[in-house]
Amino acid sequence: MKHKRILITGGAGFIGSHLAEFFLEQNCQVTIVDNLSTGAWANIQHLEQNENFSAVISCVTDERLMDDLVRNSDIVYHLASAVGVKLIMEKPIDTIDTIFHTTDMAIKKCSRYRKPFVFTSTSEVYGKLDKDVFSEDSDVLLGCAEKHRWAYAATKAVDEFLILAHHMQTNLPVYIARLFNTVGPRQTGQYGMVLPNFVTRALNNQPIRVFGNGQQTRCFCSVYDVVKALAKFPQSKNAIGKVINIGSQQEISIKALAEKVVEKTQSKSTIELVPYSEVFGPGFDDILKRVPDLTRAKNFLEWSPKCSLDDIIEQVIKDKQDG
């Protein structure tokens, strides 16, 4: 592997911890920095015994720290971010502040020391766009600024513009992965993540709450597939300065997902349809359909997802049973 010293911001989070694990298996030196605001020490505790792993519990906005960490790395994976619709709705100021300022700090240090920069963005940036399949060159259509739900998408979109501006002005090698509903072991339902929430409730025979009419559809991609995709970005010259969708095209309605979870867990849980207003307050917007165009991922990264939705659900069930 070309880059042997890997820095992962948000490395104690769900995706970050799996990415750290992946690179350690490739005999890389991995440093993670995380303030544990949404990440968890339990996600990386098993990595402590590896001599190639080190963890720094601090904020990415610490300039002196980041200067030192980036200078001594070969590449930076920037995953530190606010996560989950629930957290975003409850703390929009923290959402905007965390997302923008951590990215600004990380990209500035990478620009100073000429380190490649890989950024995990989100399919949320497509907003309310009404298309069967979302391609990277699609327009962005966000909702009203008075609806806090769009704070996450808007700030991630600004991050993308900032990162691509660094590439345009300074020729910094940057890569942007737009992730579509990554799921798997270690993901918590605490911040509104749908699959771990459904599985936890099903295993406890509690009612499963589905928001709206449940007909909104999503495509869920295994974290194991996602980290393999992220590792491929810096290996592709064609991916430099590009936005690339990473996700699955196996579409399912949220109500059908709940039914599948109940079936696979042999749960006695009932499925309850809950109005958005009851959970998020009046005026909440949701996206009815979100399917990625994976043409760039296939052409630039030679990547496509391998895990089926059934495999993913079973992985999450096992994780929650073992946990």
Which residue in 77, 126, 152, 175 is the catalytic one?
152
Torsion angle, alpha carbons of 68, 73, 78, 80, to 10: -50
How far is Cα 74 from Cα 66, in angstroms, rounded to an integer?
13
Token pair 């929009």: residue = 92
- CA torsion, ordered 291, 292, 298, 300, to nearest 10 deg: 180
- CB-based contact 251:294 (threshold 8 Å): no
Provide the angle, in degrees to the nearest 10, between the axes of the packed helices 309-322 and 254-265: 50
Q: Which two tokens stand for residue 308?
A: 């089926």
Residue 40 DSSP SS3:
coil
Instruction: Return d(Cα 197, Cα 202) in angstroms, integer.
Output: 9
Point out which residues pair with 30 in neighbouring strands: 6, 53
- Distance from C-alpha of 57 to C-alpha of 36, rounded to nearest angstrom: 7
- Taking the C-alpha atoms of residue 141 and residue 285, their distance in angstroms, rounded to an integer, is 12
* Residue 234 DSSP symbol: G
- Catalytic residue flag (residue 113): no
Contact 155, 99 (CB under 8 A): yes
At 133, phi and psi to the nearest 5? -135, 135
Annotated catalytic sites, by residue? 152
